[in-house]
């Protein structure tokens, strides 16, 4: 069975090839879908990220400035909140929290030629002699 293109066109419209009509209809569908997706994204609530530290404590990173680290084989991510002097570090895929860390120490960590070596020699719990241990009374 064949259909004549003229059957599907209004009398005052010029004849448009079928493939062009299909192309235009697909464009309209894609544009509507994108508009709907953008509307949903715009109305979605913005939720800050939360991580679980080695002490099985959840920390909201809303007040932290986080950086993904690509030049270290030890550190994957560093998050710092200067107001609380709190440092969250991802090592081996696990997050650890350090308290009382000065902004200068974080700057030296981020600028060190070997971030892993600086972290392991200066900040890591094993070598810092409890200097950056977070007390249970401290809240983040």
Q: Residue 121 pLDDT more than 80?
A: yes
* Distance of alpha carbon 24 from alpha carbon 58, whole angstroms: 50
Q: Give the per-residue pLDDT at 138.
A: 43
Whether 28 shows a pLDDT value over 70: the answer reads yes
**Average pLDDT of 77-85?**
96
Coil vs helix vs strand at 26: helix
Residue with structure tokens 């991802």?
90
Enumerate the domain spans of the chain: 15-43, 50-128
Taking CA atoms, 60 is separated from 5, 54, 90, 97, 106, in Å, by: 62, 14, 15, 12, 19
Assess whether pLDDT exceeds 90 at residue 139. no
Q: What is the mean pLDDT of residues 17-42?
A: 76
Q: How confident is the model at residue 137 (pLDDT cuts 50, 70, 90)?
A: very low
């Amino acid at each position: 069975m064949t259909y004549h293109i003229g059957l599907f066109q209004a009398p005052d419209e010029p004849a448009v090839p079928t493939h062009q009509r299909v192309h235009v209809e697909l464009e309209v569908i894609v544009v509507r879908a994108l508009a709907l997706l953008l509307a949903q994204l715009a109305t979605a609530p913005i939720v800050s990220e939360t991580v679980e530290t080695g002490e099985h404590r959840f920390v909201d990173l809303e007040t932290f400035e986080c950086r993904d680290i690509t030049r270290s084989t030890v550190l994957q991510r560093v998050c710092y909140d200067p107001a609380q002097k709190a440092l969250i570090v991802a090592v081996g895929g696990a997050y650890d929290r350090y308290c009382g860390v000065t902004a200068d120490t974080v700057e030296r960590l981020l600028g060190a030629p070997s971030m892993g070596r600086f972290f392991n020699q200066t900040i890591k719990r094993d070598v810092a002699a409890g200097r950056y241990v977070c007390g249970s009374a401290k809240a983040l």
